[in-house]
DNA sequence: CACGCAATGTAAGCGCCGACAACATAGAGG
DNA sequence: CCTCTATGTTGTCGGCGCTTACATTGCGTG
């Protein structure tokens, strides 16, 4: 009956939607422009009319992920709650977001998209906004500190959260869980560590040790 | 003169050495068995006589990386020093190791090799030993705690360290460094956070917040 | 010493991929 | 109506992982 028209109509958004689904579930590595085009019933060259290359499509998907985070952080900041609880809530959000969309999480926080020089233009605004809001959340939890101290706290907090997700995703914690420690226990410990950083001097350490590197063979 | 002999002589080790160099510098994604074979002057199929597939080669490279870590941890444990200082030294080792071999670090801590079921057999022994030694380092820094508490501390410590490296490698901290915060400052803050975890109750937190997920669209 | 067999290497080919160039179609605006 | 541009197609190139069938070598054993 309705034979497929020559023009798709909204191929660009169709590509974004379908591709985001693939990335969320199976990660950026699993995304193939060819199979994507085939799934949507267009030729393999069609996607290149809308995205310069594969990375350009991935950049837009990552950007949409950062926009999700921006919306969530903004909502957290708009609610009136204790600063430490807000950090715990934010950390909980990270964990849930990554659990639901492991591949998208990896694209956002482990890919080198943002390390390019220059990074994809579409990625910069949402990534920057998410930085700023995260720092604001940390600032409100540890008020009255210097800007550098706040930044150091923010970096430590996000490092702990992302590192946990990276390592769990990489299967590095499987040996730890043969004991009595459940996944929920570990998540609770991470949230506690992020929310209850010691209130003292995050930048007070000198160089405790020289950058020696034994075993570097 | 010496025309290339039919048999390479030590192709397996040559593959490992050359491949490890590529992985250390440019990451596992950059490793191509074809170009590797060409560089070594053998045919494209030759590597498959020594490794079942690309992942098998990568697994051996990752294993050698974990063995580096095991050797370093053992050396740290053999020296007589304050427990917190040893944690700081261990963290410093992570940072340096990853700085010198960014691609190998990613293969070890971000790839899903260990998440497979089952993981590559060559990878399990060195990975397990590195777990155990790391836990031992943490235990000596926070003696007298329950096994679960020690594990939670270890997980938090390595999460913070690896997360920092992942995020810096992904370019996520570039916006933070436009201010007065240098890279060395940030590293010092990470080391301080890992070494000076609050001594109190790493597992004492209940469920501070429900797993709500605003903005999950 | 010779021989046969396992270890190790080669050549060719499959199917997948990203990307580009040349061509086809359709719809919007003069 | 007609052209111009946006959009989609086909064909092609080079690269990849991996497999199959075949070639060479050298070691262990009769």
Model confidence over B69-78: pLDDT tens digits? 999 999 999 9
- Residue range B11-33: mean pLDDT, rounded: 98
Q: How far apart are CA A29 and CA A179, in angstroms?
A: 33
Please check whether residue B125 lies inside any domain of the structure: yes
B164/A161 CB distance under 8 A: no
Reply yes or no on whether the pLDDT at A210 is more than 70.
Answer: no
With CA atoms as reference, the chain B residue closest to A116 would be: B171
Q: Which value, in Å, is the radius of gyration of the alpha carbons in chain A?
A: 21
Higher per-residue pLDDT: A206 or B116: B116
Set of chain B residues whose Cβ sits within 8 Å of the Cβ of A215: 68-69, 71-72, 75, 93
> Which helix (DSSP H) or strand (DSSP E) does residue A91 occupy?
helix A83-100
B79 touches chain A (CB under 8 A): no
On whether residue B47 sits in a domain, the answer given is no
Beta-carbon contacts of A160 under 8 Å, excluding residues fewer than 6 positions away, are: A190, A193, A194, B156, B159, B160, B163, B193
Q: How far is A109 from chain B (nearest CA, A)?
A: 6
A169 to B112: CB separation less than 8 angstroms, yes or no:
yes
Looking at residue B200, its pLDDT comes to 59
Q: Is residue B107 part of a domain?
A: yes
Q: Which residue, A59, A112, A104, A166, is CA-closest to B169?
A: A112
The rounded distance, in Å, linking the Cα atoms of B87 and B160 is 13
Residue B173 has pLDDT above 90, yes or no: yes
In a domain, B200, yes or no: no
Domain count, chain B: 1
- The pLDDT, as a whole number, for residue B197 is 82
Outline where DSSP puts E strands in A45-162. none
From B214's Cα to the closest Cα of chain A, the distance in A is 6
Cβ-proximal residues to A208 (8 Å cutoff; 6+ apart), any chain:
B85, B88, B89, B92, B191, B192, B195
Q: What percent of chain B has pLDDT over 90?
A: 82
Of A32, A110, A6, the closest CA to residue B170 belongs to A110
Across the range A45-67, mean pLDDT stands at 98
Q: Report which of A146, A156, A135 is spatially closest to residue A198, judged by C-alpha positions.
A: A156
Q: What is the Cα–Cα distance from A171 to B116, expressed in whole angstroms?
A: 8
Confidence of residue A214 (pLDDT cuts 50, 70, 90): very low
Our measurement of CA A6 to C1' C25, in angstroms, reads: 7
Which nucleotide shows the minimum CA-to-C1' distance to residue A44? D9
Residue predicted with more confidence, A196 or B186: B186
Determine the pLDDT at residue A215.
41
Q: Which residues contact A78 (CB under 8 A, 6 or more apart)?
A: none
Does the distance separating the beta carbons of A203 and B152 come in below 8 Å?
no
pLDDT score recorded for residue B202: 52
Note the pLDDT of residue B177: 84
Indicate the pLDDT class of residue A170, thresholds 50, 70 and 90. very high
CATH number at residue A135: 1.10.357.10
A25 to A102, A207, B191: CA distances (angstroms): 6, 42, 34
Among A30-34, A99-103, B146-150, the minimum mean pLDDT is found in B146-150
In a domain, A95, yes or no: yes
- Is residue A77 situated within a structural domain? yes
Nearest to A60 by CA among A102, A3, A113: A113
For residue range B64-121, list pLDDT tens digits in order: 999 999 999 999 999 999 999 999 999 999 999 999 999 999 999 999 999 999 999 9
CA distances from A37 to A2, A20, B28 (A): 20, 14, 27
- For the cut 50, the answer to whether the pLDDT of residue A115 exceeds it is yes
Length of chain A (residues) = 217
Task: Quote the CA–CA distance of B13 and B140 in Å, as a whole number.
Answer: 38
Nucleotides of D under 7 A from a protein CB: 7-12, 15-21, 24-26
pLDDT band of A204, cuts 50, 70, 90:
very low
For residue B133, what are its two tokens? 């030694």
Does residue A89 sit within a domain? yes
Give me the domain span that covers residue B93.
55-195
B153 located within any domain:
yes
Q: What is the mean pLDDT of residues B140-152?
A: 95
């Amino acid at each position: 009956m309705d034979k497929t028209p020559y023009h798709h109509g909204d191929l660009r958004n169709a590509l974004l939607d379908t591709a985001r689904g693939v990335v969320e579930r199976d990660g950026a590595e699993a995304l193939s422009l060819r199979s994507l085009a085939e799934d949507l019933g267009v030729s393999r060259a069609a996607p290149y009319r809308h995205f310069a290359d594969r990375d350009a499509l991935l950049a837009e998907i990552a950007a949409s992920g950062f926009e999700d985070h921006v919306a969530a952080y903004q909502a957290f900041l708009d609610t009136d709650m204790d600063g430490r609880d807000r950090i715990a809530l934010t950390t909980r959000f990270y964990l849930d977001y990554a659990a639901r969309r492991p591949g998208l999480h990896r694209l956002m926080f482990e890919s080198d998209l943002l390390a390019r020089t220059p990074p994809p233009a579409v990625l910069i605004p949402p990534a920057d906004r998410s930085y700023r809001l995260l720092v604001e959340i940390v600032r409100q939890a540890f008020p009255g500190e210097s800007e550098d101290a706040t930044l150091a706290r923010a970096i430590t907090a996000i490092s702990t959260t992302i590192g946990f997700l990276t390592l769990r995703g990489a299967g590095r914690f499987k040996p730890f869980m043969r004991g009595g420690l459940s996944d929920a226990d570990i998540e609770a410990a991470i949230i506690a560590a992020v929310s209850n950083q010691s209130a003292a001097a995050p930048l007070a350490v000198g160089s405790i040790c020289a950058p020696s590197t034994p075993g570097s063979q």
